[in-house]
Structure 1
Amino acid sequence: MKLENTTDQQILLNLLNAFNKGTEAVLSLFAPMATVEYPYARSLGSAYQLTMDDYRKHLDNILGDMPDIIFTGLTVYPLNEPDSYWAEFHGETTVPATGALYQQDYVVNFRLENGKFIYYKEYWNVLPVLKTLMGKEQAQQIIDKPIIY
Structure 2
Amino acid sequence: MQLLLDKDMDAWVALCDDQVIFEFPFAPDGRPKRLEGRPALAAYLKDYPDHIDLQAFPALKIHHTDAPDTIVVEMRATGRIVATGAPYEMPYIAVVTVVHGRITHYRDYWNPLAVPASMDEAKSALGPTS
TM-score, normalised by the number of residues in structure 1: 0.74
CA distance in 2, matches of 1:68, 1:107: 17
Q: Which runs of 4+ in 1 moved over 6 A?
A: none
Q: Which has the higher helix share?
A: 1
- Matching of residues 1-149 of structure 1 within 5 Å: 16-19=1-4, 20-41=6-27, 43-51=28-36, 52-135=38-121
CA distance in 2, matches of 1:69, 1:44: 28
CA distance in 1, matches of 2:123, 2:83: 15
Name the SS for the 1:39 alignment partner: coil
Q: Which runs of 5+ in 1 are unaligned?
A: 1-15, 139-149
The structural deviation recorded for 1:57 is 0.9
Query: Which stretch of structure 1 is more off in the superposition, 72-81 or 129-138?
Result: 129-138
Match of 1:3? none
CA distance in 2, matches of 1:133, 1:112: 31
The structural deviation recorded for 1:74 is 0.9
CA distance in 2, matches of 1:31, 1:24: 13
Conservation of the 8 A alpha-carbon contact between 1:91 and 1:103: yes
- Counterpart residue type for residue 103 of structure 2: F
CA distance in 1, matches of 2:91, 2:54: 16
The structural deviation recorded for 1:106 is 0.3
| Alpha-carbon distance change, 28 to 136 in structure 1, aligned in 2, over 3 angstroms | closer
Q: Which has the higher strand share?
A: 2
TM-score, normalised by the number of residues in structure 2: 0.84
The structural deviation recorded for 1:68 is 3.8
